[in-house]
Structure 1
Amino acid sequence: MRRFSRWSSKWWPGTIPLVILWAVAAWSSTAPLETDLAARAGAALKDTVLDKTKIAVAGRDVTFSADAFSEDGRLSAVASVEAVPGVRLVNDDTRLVPEAKPFTWSAERDVVRVTLGGSAPLPAVKGRLLEAARGSLNGVEVVDRMSLARGAPPRFDAAAQLMIEQIGKLKDGKITLSDAQVSLSGMARDLGGREAIAAALKNLPEGFSVAANEIKAPPYIFQAYKDPVAQTLTLTGYVPDNTVHAAVVAAAGRKFFNEKVVDNLKASVGAPAGFSTAVIPALGALSRLSTGTLVISDREVKLSGDAFYEAAAAQIRAALTKDLPRGWQGKPEIPVKPAAAPVDATVCQQLFSDLLGKAKIRFEPGRAVIDPDSAGLLDRLTETAMRCPAANVEIAGHTDSGGDDGFNQALSEKRAQAVADYLIQAGLPAERFRAIGYGSLQPLAGNDTDEGKAQNRRIEFLVR
């Protein structure tokens, strides 16, 4: 008995290396088989549409898990794995992707990024939407918060692609597809963006419709800045079309006699009703300021700057509201510039001559009614007269030789008096001004051409 115990205690330790060798042999023969089987099972699924696919092999048994997008697709995928040569058993852990009711997808834009959210029906569709967003948004960050779900309406892919094109036209906002209903909100990036989006919505795929379109247009801005140092009038912003553009620039050239017009205007849709009726009188008000800024935003007109004298400031404030179309709002901020230093009569005459050498006081044809385009020039003449408190001024009216001499004489007198009345209404003493008409007796040029006649029709200021 003791002899057997001693023998047994000697042989069993020798079995340990044998067990290890057997395990290594088994593993070395099984591991490549499992790897090969997993690879062939994966290859069998290459034409199936699945998400979160996982294959684990133990011997010849395969555990297969995945999210499928239809019951037929799920069953077909399981059958494909079962048909792989060498597979003994498939442990089926597949399931269907959840169904979304309603099926909702969205694209939302803020200042720095676009976020795609909601559901996409397939991984490939999700990828295409991300690629389209990144390609059309010029480097804007695109954040993917889409999940996969069943239940997308027919032609979802085309509808979502179209909406991605529209999100690029927004400054901020959100576009949502809920089943086949489209809802949009936010602010268009550019003028005309709202209209462009509305036009694009007419191309929605069959079955889709617009539930709500609350896209707003950005403010329609027109600006004009009068710089007396650079002697420029700079126009920026928008006008409705090329016809209005030309009319605005031409009006500015008539009203701003001493400034070069710098035209940076662009034609764009979206102008508020009455734009053309509002902008030209507002430019006339700006022309009467020493320096100033005009900002038209939608139907609001802001005018700020210094008037040459108190009466002009009051007139400009009143006219800005009165001359605007119905529904428009004027916001004038018009102080009076500090009075300039007085000058003697000789300097005063030179200042009058310089001003009237740059522009002429205009009147309605055949009448003594001063053209509103001359208001800026008259205010400068008035300011100059205020700097010469001791000077008496003759205001001389002249006509061309066309028509009856008596009529021309009377017209020249009335026009001279109309100018004198303008200065007197500004607060200057009436006794300082003498209005005289010379008719056609003192021409500057020949009356045989239109150019010559235009030179002869004039008002002169003569310091006496």
Structure 2
Amino acid sequence: MHGLFRWSSKWWPGLVPLVVFWAIAAWTSTSPLETDLAARSAAALKDTVLDKRRIEVFGRDLTLAADAFSEDGRRSAVASVAAVPGVRLVNDETQLVPEASPFVWSAERDVVRVTLGGSAPLPSTKSRLLDVARADLDGVEVVDRMNLSRGAPPRFDDAALLLIDQIGRLKDGKITISGTTVSLAGMARDIGGREAIAAALKNLPEGFSVAANAVAAPPYVFQAYKDPVAVTLTLTGYVPDNNVHAAIAAAAARKFFSEKVVDNLKTSVGAPAGFANAVVPALGVLSRLSTGTLVVSDREVKLSGDAFYDAAAAQIRADMAKDFPGGFQVKADISLKPAAAPVDPTVCQQLFSDLLAKGKIRFESNRAAIDPDSAGLLDRLIETALRCPTANIEIAGHTDAVGEDAVNQVLSEKRAQAVLDHLVKAGLPADRFTAIGYGSAQPVASNETDEGKAQNRRIDFLVR
């Protein structure tokens, strides 16, 4: 017995290296197997759409954890791994991603960034939406706040991509898909942006509808600035179409007899109803100011500047509200130009001649009614008459040679008298002026051409 114990004591230490050698052999033979199974299992899942995928291998047993986007996709992924040669057992830890009901997605824009939020149905959809947003909004930060969820309606991707195009048209605002309804709110970036968004929404995929479109348009602004130093009238802002553009430019050319018209207008949709009917009379008022600014913003008309004399300022303030279409608000800030120094009769005559060389007092055809387009020129003539208070002035009416002499004579007299009456109404003393008609007796050009006839139809101011 004693000898047996001594034999055992000598034998068991020899087992230790055998166990170590066995463990090393087992490890060196198992580790490559596990690595190979993991790689082949991953390859088997390469065409399977999963999120948060994790594969662990112990021996020939495999644990698969992942979020799947459908029950079929989940079962297919487990079956694909189980079919990998060498896999003995699959521990299924897969689950479905949460379902969103309703399925909500949004794109929100502020001053510096666009944030995509809510739910996306697949990782590929999420990546595509981010890529398109960054491409369309070049230079704008795009923030991803999207979660992955099930429950997206059919053709969600098409709807979201179309709406990302619209976020670029917003200065700020938010676009939301909830189920199959779309809601929009915010401010369009440019004139016409609201209309462009509304047009694009007509192309939403079948099944989608617009629940609310509260996108506002920026103010539709038209501006005109009269600069007496540069002798220019500068037009900026927007007009609704080429026909209105042409009409406004033509009205400006008639009303501003000496200024060069600088036309920087652009055509855009979004003008309020009655836009042209508000702009044209407003330009007429501006023509009566020495210097001034006109701003038509949506349905608000603002005029500011200096009138040439007291009565003109009072008349402009009293008449402005009468000449504009209903629905427009008119605000006038009319001050008075400092009175110019008096001049002697010779200088006065030169001033009259210079003004009438640049523009003509216009009348309605074959009548003595003064055309409103001549209001600016008449105010300049009145200002000049005020500068020579001691001079007597003849207002001479002339016609072309078309028609009977007697008729032309009467028409010339009536037109001269209409101008005199206008000056008296402005506050000038009637006894300083004489209205005389000369008919067609004193032409300054040939009556054989339309251009010559137009030159002969005129009013002259003669200092006596």
What are the residue-to-residue correspondences of 1:179-218 with 2, within 5 Å? 179-218=179-218
The equivalent of 1:312 in structure 2 is: 312
The equivalent of 1:451 in structure 2 is: 451
Instruction: Note if 1:261 corresponds to 2:277.
Output: no
Unpaired runs of at least 5, structure 2: none
Q: Deviations over 1:261-285 (max 9, x none)?
A: 1111122222111112111111111
The equivalent of 2:419 in structure 1 is: 419
Q: Residues of 2 paired with 1:361 and 1:404: CA distance? A: 23
The equivalent of 1:294 in structure 2 is: 294
- The percent identity for this pair of structures is 78
The alignment's TM-score, normalised by the length of structure 1, stands at 0.94
The equivalent of 2:284 in structure 1 is: 284
Q: Which amino acid aligns with 1:154?
A: P
Instruction: Note if 1:224 corresponds to 2:224.
Output: yes
User: CA 1:440–1:30 in 2, change beyond 3 Å: closer, same or farther?
Assistant: same
Q: Deviations over 1:33-54 (max 9, x none)?
A: 2222211111111111100101
The equivalent of 1:338 in structure 2 is: 338
What are the residue-to-residue correspondences of 1:284-433 with 2, within 5 Å? 284-433=284-433
> By how many angstroms is 1:9 displaced?
10
Deviates more, 1:207-216 or 1:114-123: 207-216
Q: Residues of 2 paired with 1:256 and 1:310: CA distance? A: 21
Q: Residues of 2 paired with 1:426 and 1:2: CA distance? A: 147
Q: Residues of 2 paired with 1:394 and 1:324: CA distance? A: 36
What are the residue-to-residue correspondences of 1:226-241 with 2, within 5 Å? 226-241=226-241
> Considering only aligned residues, what root-mean-square deviation do their CA atoms show, in Å?
2.4
> By how many angstroms is 1:382 displaced?
1.0
User: CA 1:404–1:89 in 2, change beyond 3 Å: closer, same or farther?
Assistant: same
The equivalent of 1:65 in structure 2 is: 65
Q: Deviations over 1:78-98 (max 9, x none)?
A: 122222222233222211100
The equivalent of 1:171 in structure 2 is: 171
Q: Residues of 1 paired with 2:297 and 2:91: CA distance? A: 69
Q: Deviations over 1:321-360 (max 9, x none)?
A: 1111011111111111111122222211111111111111
The equivalent of 2:95 in structure 1 is: 95
Q: Residues of 2 paired with 1:7 and 1:340: CA distance? A: 137
- Secondary structure of 1:37's match? helix
- Secondary structure of 2:293's match? strand
Unpaired runs of at least 5, structure 1: none
- Secondary structure of 1:455's match? helix
Deviates more, 1:1-10 or 1:389-398: 1-10
The equivalent of 2:123 in structure 1 is: 123
Q: Which amino acid aligns with 1:167?
A: I
User: CA 1:417–1:6 in 2, change beyond 3 Å: closer, same or farther?
Assistant: farther
Q: Residues of 2 paired with 1:171 and 1:185: CA distance? A: 11
Q: Residues of 2 paired with 1:381 and 1:19: CA distance? A: 121
Q: Which amino acid aligns with 1:220?
A: Y
The alignment's TM-score, normalised by the length of structure 2, stands at 0.94
User: CA 1:20–1:334 in 2, change beyond 3 Å: closer, same or farther?
Assistant: farther
Q: How many residues are aligned here?
A: 464
Q: Which amino acid aligns with 2:236?
A: T
The equivalent of 1:134 in structure 2 is: 134
Q: Residues of 1 paired with 2:354 and 2:130: CA distance? A: 67
> By how many angstroms is 1:180 displaced?
1.0
Q: Residues of 1 paired with 2:289 and 2:7: CA distance? A: 124
The equivalent of 1:144 in structure 2 is: 144
Q: Deviations over 1:10-39 (max 9, x none)?
A: 999998777666555444333322222211
- Secondary structure of 2:408's match? helix
> By how many angstroms is 1:402 displaced?
2.2
